[in-house]
Structures are given as structure tokens and as C-alpha cells.
Structure 1
Amino acid sequence: MSDEQSTLQGRLARYARVGTAMGGVAARMAGERFLGLKLEREAHAAELRTALGGLKGPLMKVAQILSTIPDALPQEYVQELAQLQSDAPSMGWPFVKRRMTAELGPSWQSKFQSFEKGAASAASLGQVHRAIGHDGAKLACKLQYPDMQSAVEADLRQLRLVFGIYARYDKAIRTDQIYDEIGARLREELDYALEARHMALYGDMLSGVEGVHVPAVVPDLSSKRLLTMQWVDGRKIIHFKDADLETRNRIAVNMFRAWYIPFYEYGVIHGDPHLGNYTVRDDLDINLLDFGCIRVFPPRFVEGVIELYRALESDDMERARHAYELWGFKNVTNELLDVLNIWARFVYAPILDDRTRSIEETNSGRYGQATAAKVHEALRKVGGVEIPREFVFMDRAAIGLGSVFLHLRSEINWYRMFHELIEGFDAAKLAERQAAALAKAGVPGQP
């Protein structure tokens, strides 16, 4: 039986490994809700992280996602799950030989000048090995772990359980569309052939953009579960946190371009801006990495993002209501509008001020937690809200990039950078550019 299919046997094995931990969540939260038992959430959340910490696969990816979606889960759980290590222990040489043989055939080693047995890095869904091609090119080979389809389906089922429990406990956020969006993107991340097309798309969109680099794919050495690409040298951003301000600002500007030029010009965003998905080159350009989680937005959504900015800038609440509707929010009452604007003023604050400033002035972690708590309480009072699917990864990118800029302590005129991007925005022209770019790269649209 193939270990690459979502098999009943594979799913049952996964359920057995995570079921006890997730079952504990269910029992304890039910006990608090229905029996009045005191739930020591911090202690239990730590137990949950310990129980899940040895598992490879989607749970780590889900934890990273949930840590940047306000109120998707109780904060105690998010804080603990976010600590699951994305740089997990790698699998050994027997796995590597099986995977490479399955993808490139029994003579796979002859296709390389050299191939390192030890993994250069290991993450939630796969691990990366260094190699050298016959032309002398330095390569990175990303190998998907075995049985990941079963793991994804099993973990998504457990995630639905946790969301269901939380929905009974707290009505502020309805999570159906969050769940659907996470599920769709996770399933896409298993298709390395699609990721290769995403890389081609980004290479095209960012061609000629100063300060940003996308590694090239090697198609002949790639498949649905093996992705071979150019190796790009760079250092993690943590190495630059104490650099001089000019250095930190230059890195921040390059990061801003990498994420938002594709969004405002093509309606596409890299949905995974955590610290492991880019490196900084010696010249302070950045390498953009890991293209499994890419979100393609309809042009009306990009228009809605700009419209909401204009509404906040002019304090035009009817324009804000229309913007939220373009985002996909339903039944935006005056009460809900007021609550959503608390969140919007927090997120948009850095680009509403025409001056050089740090993100931390209005978007520090402490202020963000206070804002999230205020929004959460207000949402409960107005009867809750259903988060549109398209909101999930846009919000995640904004929060994740904000975290990067906080790490860098950069001081930039974000207002002017944003205005340079949106000047002359035309939704119809964006639609034309998007369609052409997606067709060229062979990337499908998304719901």
C-alpha cells in the first residue's frame, strides 16, 4: 500500500497519536463549560504542546497559522502551540533513499554530482538536503515526509474538534471559514509541483524588483513530493536585530516590497511570513523561501483593502462598511462596523501617518494583545462574527510582517511606501495582470 495516499490505516495511526491529547482538550473544556470545573488552561496547554511536540506534520503548521489569527483559539493554547519547533529533528538516510528512489528512480544519485546525507534543515512537512548538480550548481532538495496526506486529513479532523469545542465555549468568532481556508491551503502545501509553479509565479511578479530574490526551480529533478531548486545563501534575520538602523531599515523595506508588490499589483500574497521563510544576503537583499502557502485574491478584495484605508483616512463609515463587504463580511451592522474598526485602526495605524516612525509606536505586542482583547469582548456583545476565508491569510501576513518589523525595530515612512504601491490602482488592470501571470505560471485560481 502506498504511503503517499490518505489511507484509512494512516489516518487511524495518526488519530491514535493525537487523539489522547486532543481528547484531553475536549474533556477539560467541557468540564469547565458544563460542570463548572476550574480549567487551568496554561498548565493544560503546556501539556498539549508536550504531547504534540514529537509529531511531524501539519499540526506544527496549524499552530503557526493559529498563532497569528486573533481569537481562533484561547490565547493560552495559541502561545503554547506556537512554541512547537518548526525546525524539527530530521528523518534518517533510509527515508531519504526511499523518497529519492520513489521520485527520481533507483539511479537517482547519478543525477547529482553530490548529495549530502544529512538534512540541512527540517520543518513540519519535509526536510531539505544540500546537493550539487552536474553543472556545478548548488542545489536544495526538499523531500516531503511519508504519509503526509493521511497526517493532514487526521490533523484537520482534530482541528475541527478543537474549533467545535471552542465554538461552544465562546461565540465571538465563528470559525467555519477559517477551518475551510486552513484546510485548503494545507492540502495545497502537499503538492510540490504546485509549489514549483508558485515559485515561477513569484519569480515573474518580482522580476526586476530591487532587493528581493526567488530561487529558481530545477524541473527535471522535481516531482509532486520532491522540490529541487537553486541553493541561496543567507542568514536569519535574528543576526541583524542589533545591526545599525540603516541596515535594519533596508532589510525592512525589502521585506515590505517582497510581500506587498505582488499583492497590490497582482492580488497574490505569500501567506507564511514566519522567520524561517526568508534569509538575508550579505548585500542585505532578501531571499524569499517556501512557496507552499500562497493566497490568490479576487481583485475586489484588494480594492476592499484600499477602500478601507481611504475610509479610515477620511472617517467615512459608509465607505468602511462597503470595504468590509468587499472583503467578504456579511451583515455589517453599525455595531459590528464599530468593532471591526477597532481592529482596522490598529492594523492600518502605521500607514495613516505621513512621517518616519517605528511599527512599535502603535503595533507593539502589548498594545496588540490589549486591542485583540477589546475586539474579542466587543464581538461577544454584538453576537459574534464569521471571518471570511480571504481574511485569514491577509491578516496573517499583516500580523506576521508586523512581527518582523518589530524584531528589526525599523523606522520608516510606511505611509509613503504604501502610497507608492497604491498610486493609480485600477481593479480591472489588476485583474488583467493577475490572469496573465497565473496563466503563464500555470497556477489555478482559489475560492
Structure 2
Amino acid sequence: MSESSGPRGTAVPSKRLSRLWHLGRATGDLAAGIGVKGLVDLARSRNSDQPARIQLSPDRTRRFTDRLARMRGAVMKMGQLMSMDGSDVFTAETAEIMSALRDSAEPMPMSQLVQVLEGEYGHDWNRRFKRFEFTPIAAASIGQVHRAETQDGRHLALKIQFPGVRESIDSDIDNLAFLGRSLGMAPKGVDIAPFLDEARRQLHREADYAAEAEALERYRTLIGDDPDLVIPSVHQDLTTHNILAMDFAEGVSIDRLSGPDYRRAERDHAAESLMRLTLRELFEFGLVQTDPNFGNYLYDASSGRITLLDFGATKPVSPELVERFRNLARSTIDGDREGMRAACVAIGYVGEDDPREHVDTMLDLLQMAAEPLRHPGQYDFATSDLFERVYRNGRAMFHSGVFSTAPAPETLFLHRKFMGSFMLSRRLRARVNLAEMAETFI
């Protein structure tokens, strides 16, 4: 066994009022850091063509991220999504600090860690291991990861769930809905309740590690012997609803490739591999890992391969919805506006009787977003301002309240994956031939 001093963490707050208090404090830190002028600028930007940029001092940013990191759970998931490409909303300094949310939740106290291990493996849990590192190698929104070696020599990563996180999901979603309504974050005319319910279901799936183990094994079968991607094996004898035992994988978070230690060819190849995977997930597998957190991809420079982690957010997509997205993609690439409209009606982006000018606004936005799919040869994400253009036009449309319908809630997580893949290519400043790649699947 490794030394038992372990990390000094804080217990996860589990009561709804307690979590609402922490969330309110985090929101207060954010608002205080932005200041009155910043809040006014943000309000004005909702009706402007120019997005406001949030400027926070390093101290305010750390207070905000530290509080979310202490809460863990669904609230931290929100913060992670905000941090994925924060450079477009936050200043560079603020975005850099917020990026810590991707893999630096505060660990649980030793007493809680031992409580989980005893509850899942029994009081003699330590007899199963030749070596167990009490200091976690990673801590995220739902659990933390420990390195261990079994008595029979297997080198494992054990993902151990924070106590109380599963029970706090419903209260977190309710609190986020409350704050969203209070701050006027919901677009006019759109009922966000179905989307929050879908988020609630998704987070409950993510908190069931036995279900994640099944999803991981299914995904390994679909990937097969891929030369660029690696899926860890599950060790069922040590996997429970609260602990997931997997092969230990070497590597660094994929966004580290944006640094000076890696070559352009490595960045391009990594982005190409994960973009192709995104297309395969939807159009070939009908099974999508919907959490594009950069920390879920580990790059091993020695082999050039990417290890895929965290399959709690894996979601099947119905063949009918897959075909609707295929029709939309094909029509968009071909410039077939009527085909695009029919696909948008089928998905729920527009209503059958929506005014033509409103429909045209949606079609224009989709054609803009599909620019990498229509670009001949390699699309250079490093020089593209596509994100800003889509963000500016999409936000104006989102808040306009002119549409009579909304897509099925499960599309929310598909959008999350598409956006995450785009953000990663942008972060890596990669060049990807998406047009050629799409021909295989669309």
C-alpha cells in the first residue's frame, strides 16, 4: 500500500438548500467579478451583433472555480462546459484559470474515500491490492480516479464516485432551473423543462458506473482494432455501481497538444481521428459519447494513439433521428434548401408553418455552421472565425422567440458533441479535410 496520508479534501454538500447556497455564492462571485458595467454590457450584448467579453480578476475567477470544484456534480458539469472554449467569452487569463475545472475537482476527504471502498469491497478491501495510491490522479465532477495494482499484477485506474453526488443531481438541476429563470437565461417562447429533464436523466446515467462499464464494453466492440484509438478494458470483478475499474492508461489531456512540445502533424492527426470518430458515432454506430470534455481524451506521444475515457454520457441515437441528421447534412452540403427545410421540420428545428423568413434564417445559420463540410481540401481551424459568426447569429436567433417548435431534447447532447469536436480542432489549431471524410458517412 502507498502512504495513507492521502488528500485533504472537503465533503460533497448534498442537501438542496446547502447546494443552492453554494451555487448562489458562486454566482455572486461571478457577478461581483464582472461588475455593474460588465453586467450591463452582457445584457446589451443579447441584442447586439457583438458578444461581450467577460473580464474577471484572477482572484475572482479562482473563487468562482473553487466553489464549483467543491460542489462537484451537475453544477460543476456546467462550469466544465463553460471552460471548454472560454477564450471566446472570457479573457485569455480568465479562460486559462477556468480550464482547471476540466480535471481538478476538489478530492473527497480520506474518511469518505475509505467509506466508499469499504462499502463496495468490504472492510478488508485493501487485501485486493498490492498497491493503492490514496492521492487521486484526477478528480472531476462525479468522481475521482486512483491508480492501483492488484495482487495478481493488474495495473488499474479506479474511478470512485463522490458520496452524495447521485442524490444531489435532482436538486442541482432544480437549482439551475431556478437561477436560469431568475436571471432570464431561457430564450423567449421555449420551454426548457424537457431539456432539463433530459439533462437530469443523462446525469443519473453518468452516476451509474455499472451501466458505464456496459457502455464502455459495447463501445470497445464497435471501435474494434483501431490504429489511432484505444479503449481501456473493464475489470468486472472490481466494478460496482460506485467504482469503475479499468486498465490504467498513460497519456496527457488532448488539449496539451496545442503547446510547443508537439508538432503540427500530431495536432492535425489527433483532430482528424476524433472528427472521424464523431461522424462514426452518429452515422455508423448510432451510439454517441456525448461528453466532449478534453480531459476524456489522453494522447500517448510514444504511440501516437488516443485513449478514450468516460463513457457515462454514452447515448444511443434512434435510426430515425440518425437518418434525419444524414438528410440534413447531405442537403446542406449540396445547397438543397428545400431538402434542408424538410430535414429541419423532421428534427424540430423549425415548424411546418413557420414564416419563410424565419425558416431562411435557420437555413442560413446551418449552411454557415457546415462550412468545414463544404470546404474543399483541408479546413484550417486556426484561421477560421466560424465560431464567432455562428455564435453571433445563433444567439440572436435563439433569443428572438420567433420559432414555434423545438427539437427533441436528446439533440441537446448531440449538439454538445458536435460543438466539442469543433472546439477541440480549434484549440489544436488543426487542419482537417472534413469534406472528404463526410463522403464516407453522408
Q: Give the TM-score, by structure 2 length.
A: 0.80
Cα distance in structure 2, aligned partners of 1:39 and 1:114: 54
Q: Are 1:338 and 2:360 an aligned pair?
A: yes
Superposed CA offset, 1:21-62 (max 9, x none): 568999xxxxx9xxxx95877589968656545322221112
Q: Are 1:250 and 2:272 an aligned pair?
A: no
Q: Are 1:405 and 2:425 an aligned pair?
A: yes
Q: 1:414 to 1:39 in 2, by over 3 A?
A: closer
Q: Are 1:88 and 2:111 an aligned pair?
A: no
Cα distance in structure 1, aligned partners of 2:162 and 2:289: 23
Q: Are 1:232 and 2:249 an aligned pair?
A: yes
Q: Are 1:313 and 2:330 an aligned pair?
A: no
* Contact residue 288 and residue 316 of structure 2 kept, 8 A: yes
One-letter identity of the residue aligned with 2:273: N
1:33-432 aligned at under 5 Å gives the runs 42=54, 52-65=68-81, 85-86=101-102, 87-167=104-184, 170-171=187-188, 174-241=191-258, 242=260, 243-281=262-300, 282-329=302-349, 331-332=351-352, 333=354, 334-362=356-384, 364=385, 367-381=386-400, 383-384=402-403, 386-422=406-442
Cα distance in structure 2, aligned partners of 1:169 and 1:408: 32
Q: 1:132 to 1:306 in 2, by over 3 A?
A: same
Q: 1:208 to 1:221 in 2, by over 3 A?
A: same
* Contact residue 187 and residue 400 of structure 2 kept, 8 A: no
SS at match of 1:292: coil
One-letter identity of the residue aligned with 2:351: N
One-letter identity of the residue aligned with 1:278: Y
Out of 15, 18, 23, the position equivalent to 1:13 is 18
Indicate the larger mover: 169-178 or 287-296: 169-178
* Contact residue 19 and residue 71 of structure 2 kept, 8 A: no
SS at match of 1:102: helix
Corresponding residue for residue 10 of structure 2: none
SS at match of 1:201: helix
- Which structure 1 segments of 5+ residues have no match? 1-7, 27-31, 423-447
Cα distance in structure 1, aligned partners of 2:188 and 2:82: 17
Q: 1:378 to 1:403 in 2, by over 3 A?
A: closer
SS at match of 1:335: helix
Corresponding residue for residue 7 of structure 2: none
* Contact residue 119 and residue 127 of structure 1 kept, 8 A: yes
Cα distance in structure 2, aligned partners of 1:170 and 1:69: 22
Superposed CA offset, 1:417-440 (max 9, x none): 111233xxxxxxxxxxxxxxxxxx
The alpha carbon displacement at 1:293 in A equals 0.9
Cα distance in structure 1, aligned partners of 2:19 and 2:310: 25
One-letter identity of the residue aligned with 2:76: M
One-letter identity of the residue aligned with 2:425: F
Superposed CA offset, 1:397-432 (max 9, x none): 11111111112222232111111233xxxxxxxxxx
Cα distance in structure 1, aligned partners of 2:15 and 2:378: 54
Q: Give the TM-score, by structure 1 length.
A: 0.79
Identity fraction in percent? 24
* Contact residue 254 and residue 294 of structure 2 kept, 8 A: yes
Cα distance in structure 2, aligned partners of 1:351 and 1:97: 50
Cα distance in structure 2, aligned partners of 1:386 and 1:275: 29
SS at match of 2:15: helix
SS at match of 1:209: coil
